[in-house]
Amino acid sequence: MKKSIAIFMLFSCLDLFGQKSGNIDFIEAVKFQIDIPESNKELMKNMPQSHSIKKVLFFKVQETIYKERAGNEDLEVTNENEGNQINFVMKTPESTLYSDLKNKTMVHSQEFFGKHFLVTGDLKKYTWKITGEQKTLLDMVCQKAILQDTAQNVIAWFTTQLPIGGGPNGFTGLPGMILSLDIDDGSRVITAEKIVYRDLLPEELVKPDKGKQMGVEEFEKMKKEKMKEMGAVNGKGGAMKIMIREERH
């Protein structure tokens, strides 16, 4: 009787690890770096220091889609001090990133300043150093990997128990699924909350087609120019750096 139970449990585990499709729920937290004139420092009281967004990764053996989950809310804060007022608004833009892991290509439909763009090109090539350090996430053994040859300081935790070389936000290239990312000492942290193994619905893994078509380099150039115009730039690692200027009339 004991042998039968052991065999049953073994086959149950093999069946779980053999499942190659499903979805992973993530939380993506971004820190704010806000520059404000010294005379208006009081306006920053009670201002948020970070913002979290719910995301989901749908996956099959050679394909993933990373997008927003339902339930995200815009962040809006208003502070006043001695006649001055600051309105802080952060909206969650639409974003759907499709990755073809076999052919190393991607299609990214994303909203930027109220307009939609469809960015197509090759997946970024990442070079990783696997350290051998381990920890457990969601009851799965994960290994630590450090991104090499880049200005970003990125630490990833991936599991070979889900042997699909994908991950959130377009990070790929490891021999297993990435369940956690720490970019530039916590500037942006992406963490898996739940994994569900299941057959995907046909509409859950479809290439996005919404937006004006652009290449990766063209889109990044346009994005940087627009952010510079608005006085806000992407901080190191994806933290949002916001510069608030004092205007005199």
Note down the domain range covering 45: 2-126+193-243
- H/E element, 223: helix 216-229
The reply to whether 214 falls in a domain is yes
d(CA 171, CA 149): 15
The reply to whether 150 falls in a domain is no
The reply to whether 233 falls in a domain is yes
d(CA 56, CA 190): 11
Q: What pLDDT shows up at residue 80?
A: 67
The reply to whether 117 falls in a domain is yes
Q: What is the mean pLDDT of residues 169-183?
A: 96
Give me 79's structure tokens: 């502070």
Q: Which residues pair with 75 in a beta bridge?
A: 90
The reply to whether 200 falls in a domain is yes
The reply to whether 181 falls in a domain is no
113 pLDDT band (50/70/90 cuts)? confident
Domain count of the fold of the chain? 1
Q: Are 156 and 176 in contact (CB under 8 A)?
A: no
Lowest mean pLDDT among 5-14, 112-121, 189-198: 5-14
The reply to whether 132 falls in a domain is no
Q: What pLDDT shows up at residue 29?
A: 93
- What pTM does this model have? 0.80
Q: How far is CA 243 from CA 37, 44, 91, 124, 229, in A?
A: 9, 12, 17, 30, 11
The reply to whether 7 falls in a domain is yes
Q: What is the mean pLDDT of residues 76-98?
A: 73
